Structure 1
Amino acid sequence: MNKDYLINTVEIDCPICNKAHSLEKRKRLTQCLVKGEIVDYEEVYYLCQLTDGEENEFVPAGIMDENLLRARDAYRTYKGLLTSNEIAKIRGFYGISQSDFSAMLGWGDVTVTRYESKTIQDETYNNIMRMAFENPMFALESLDKHKDRFEVEKYKRIRNSITHKVEEFGNSYLKKQEINVLYVSYQEESEYNGYKQLDIRKLASVIGYFASFVNNLYKVKLMKLLWYADTLFFRRHGRSMTGLVYTHMPYGALPIAFDEIIHLPTVKVVEEAIYEDISYKIIPNEEVNVSNFSLEELSVLETVATTFKNYRAREIVDYIHKEKAYTDTEAYQIIPYSLAKELRELR
């Protein structure tokens, strides 16, 4: 694999040529075997330009540990597990330490420390940590269940922090459950969901991406951007990006659970009065994390965002009305992804 680029130069004692000089600190995309799976990850190394031949690079012990962690995180991503950074993000969400997070969940004191540094968690532990993040009420119940693991003042402080998150994000969790209920009939992969089960985390990331990079994003326009992202990705790769199911509605393709998905945590909705109507403007609630997307996904998102960035809602509705996927389906009928092959070319 040949993706290799310079990070910076570092003045150190070179163990290869035994001279003090500037070495290139570089990064490359490479592969390794983790738990029986070959994964791609970014490896950092030093390059000695004073030495000819193949033995002109080395990896210090500290950076080797970082490389191993990146490889393990690549495996976690491949298996749908939380990465070390995502686990740390959950702790940061509640403002607690590694040992406190372990105690809150009833685990050994160093369990979370190991997960953030070297050990790959199993699916059961992973799901518990994810639930603690996605459902603050679950985190609160876990804390109360294991309150004897904490000093009184620390318990009160952590409980206040989690209670605040319950009040702030509890509605978001309920919306996710409502979305799952509406998609219970679309659990099997088919041409209706683009041969992909609904991925709410991916959906939230996609909505956050469009909120960050598309001007004047309102509810109607967002729904059309989602359809174009899913259908273009399907045309290129044979499956949808999010697993949303779309129906033929008067104003174009509209995903099932359209009212609920705008309440996912990556965005917030602001009501605006436009003449005598109320419109719902979508604005980002957090910075876009491009690592949530593959290069193929980013290519599709950039294409859709660039094409429709300055379109008004009415213009994108008119545009979608001319798509064969729309003209060849009846009102209120599900639009099959098989019609994505007829999608007009986007620039």
Structure 2
Amino acid sequence: MYINKTFCEECRKDVEYMVETAIIKGKIKGDEYEYIGKKAVCTKCGSEVYVTDIEDKNLKNLYDMYRQKKGIISLEKILEIPQKYNIGKRPLSLLLGWGEMTFTRYCEGDMPTKQYSDILQKIYDDPAYYKELLEKNKENLKSPQAYEKSKRKVQELLGEENNTGSKLDLIVQYLLYKCEDITPLALQKALYYVQGFFYAFEGRFLFEEDCEAWIHGPVYRDVYNRYSSYRFDPIESVEDFDESVFTTSEKAILDSVIKNFCCYSGKILEKFTHMEKPWKHTRGDLPVNANSNRIIPKELLGEYFIAVKEKFSMLTPGDIEVYSKYIFEQIKG
């Protein structure tokens, strides 16, 4: 039952509408871009109708595509920086030697110059670089408290970076916390998609462990050994989890994989991975039922998911939905 209504120019009255995913074209500064968006369609006559919220989201997607093509840092990453380093918007602007409201304007959607974008991107990617700026420019800050709070946070981040061995464990615990009735087979495939899509969007791998090309798809051996006793049964869920251990970007990938892949059974996900280059290429000419401990090269995994992101014009982790639906249709066919 449709509950949303808007005015239809063809029907000349308020009508119910449905929302469809569409490839949309738009122009910025004379250049045309294609992006994944939404369109509202009248349920009576099938004409496209205007809905403010949908048009606003499409406009944001257009600007996201522009940022991506021009190498400008995304709005989501800009918004994450103050949280990541525990510093206010105005103090951050002062720290960088910019106008006091400059960073605030970027948070509200203004487009940074390429020069400023590159600085923000490096700050986002590299806590050590931010720490250098903090120490070098701390006199720009109006209060020592702002400096001390941000210093503690960046030191904490650098400490976490030196302890990457626990990242995979945290992801496993989060999946068991968020997913209902997840089996060992489904868990393995979820980890594979988290690693691949995180690399596609962020340009680095989320955890250091390699996966192997087993008969039933990609497998992280240590995780397999930990939960193999469950066999085909769901793994016992985790009752409580501190979600603050993940950054906004990490959580966005995790939640999108949970939403768009963990809704399928382990056997369906196995079929997905059997269609994909990383597993197929690594298995090579092995017989179908041959055991193997061949490692799927990280380079191959990263290249494949970057290609997927580009093929389906993905702008945000939410767009992973398009690929999961596509590959599901492929195995049905």
**Comparing both structures, which one devotes a greater share of its residues to strand?**
1
Query: Which of 1 and 2 has greater Rg?
Result: 1
The structure in which a higher percent of residues are helix is 2
Highest RCO, 1 vs 2 (Cα 8 Å, sep ≥ 6): 2
| TM-score normalised by the chain length of structure 1 | 0.47
Q: Normalising by structure 2, report the TM-score.
A: 0.48
